[in-house]
Amino acid sequence: MQLQLTSPLDMHLHLREGAMLDLVAPLSARDFAGAVVMPNLVPPVDNLERLAAYTAAVRQATQDHPFAPYMTLFFREYDQATLEAARPHIIGMKLYPEGVTTNSAGGVRDLAAIAPTLELMQHLGIPLLVHGESHGFVLDREAEFLPVYDRLARQFPRLTIVMEHITTAAALDLLDQHPNLYATVTLHHLLITLDDVAGGLLQPHLFCKPIAKRPEDRAALRAAALRAHPKLMFGSDSAPHPLNRKEAAGCAAGVFSAPVILPLLAEFFADHDALPHLQTFVSDTARSVYGVNPPQTTITLAREPWTVPEAYGNVVPFYAGRTLPWQVVERAYA
């Protein structure tokens, strides 16, 4: 049994820099025709010079494959000249909750402070990508942030707002309430719950932010993905950390899923008799939401067992060492 996907897209990806970039970027670029590249480096990608340099580094690291890096700027207050200069080079701006907390009147003040930049983004057609978590109790952070999305969507009705890596049924409910609100969902939030992270032995390689939630939340995300909800895009949030930052006294948040995404998505959609919706979920929806036109690629998967490596370099992948029923058997680049 085979499956062909046309130009898969990963609408939320961490590629890092330096040696890590060189290690992980090809693993995304060989399977995906394009990806939204996150700007949360140290220091962040928050100016045009850094953006140009990082874009060049990503292109260099992915040069062996036809791959469109959809770059993002780290959200801060920018003036019109900067945004206009950036616009041809970015797909959107990524907002992290620092400075936009929902917890207090302070959150409202912060939102007011960034309104001019949001106004410009709306005017210029630059999407806003948001890591939507409050500073509250770890399991409540996404739910507590939803009113911020609600307010932003009302206040800037022509601004495209993407709720990144949603993990709750409540976020899906909100998704349907505003035409300018979209979302990405990761592979791992479709597959695991907090039980997989902490229900037996604690699994640092499954630890991520937002943290995996309850079975009911996963069920809602699964249902939406499997029917290719028209506003829900695939975004892996694949986020590599070296082994010694994961199996450690303080374990960094991030699941490195890049090399196993398409086999696991094929298995998941096949197991739920939803394979006809996978192309929409993993590519078409993003093309339509963002209006992008990625390189033409054809990725063929087959139902042939494949064992995930225990590590790629010093990074342990999602499902390390597990044997998966599907694998990528051919990558055809036009």
Interacting residue ranges for a second copy, rule: CB under 8 A: 137-139, 193-195, 197-205, 207, 211, 214-215, 247-253, 316
Taking the least distance from each CB to a second copy, the nearer of 198 and 302 is 198
Q: How far is the CB of 239 from a second copy (least distance, A)?
A: 13
Taking the least distance from each CB to a second copy, the nearer of 53 and 138 is 138
Q: How far is the CB of 249 from a second copy (least distance, A)?
A: 6
Residue 14 assigned to a binding site: yes
Residue 16 assigned to a binding site: yes
Q: How far is the CB of 246 from a second copy (least distance, A)?
A: 8
Distances in Å between the Cα of 200 and the Cα atoms of 86, 120, 127, 197, 242 are 47, 48, 40, 8, 23
Question: CB–CB of 145/132 below 8 Å?
Answer: yes
Taking the least distance from each CB to a second copy, the nearer of 52 and 138 is 138
Q: In what order do the strands lie in the sheet with 327-333?
A: 2-6, 297-302, 327-333
Number of residues in the chain: 334
Distance in angstroms (rounded) separating the CA atoms of residues 303 and 263: 9
As beta bridge partners, residue 129 has 94, 162
Question: CB–CB of 295/68 below 8 Å?
Answer: yes
Taking the least distance from each CB to a second copy, the nearer of 108 and 194 is 194
Active site residues: 237
Residue 188 assigned to a binding site: no
Residue 320 assigned to a binding site: no
The contacts of residue 115 (CB under 8 Å, 6+ apart) are 155
Q: How far is the CB of 295 from a second copy (least distance, A)?
A: 36
Annotated binding-site ranges for substrate: 14-16, 40, 131, 241, 253
Annotated binding-site ranges for Zn(2+): 12, 14, 94, 131, 165, 237
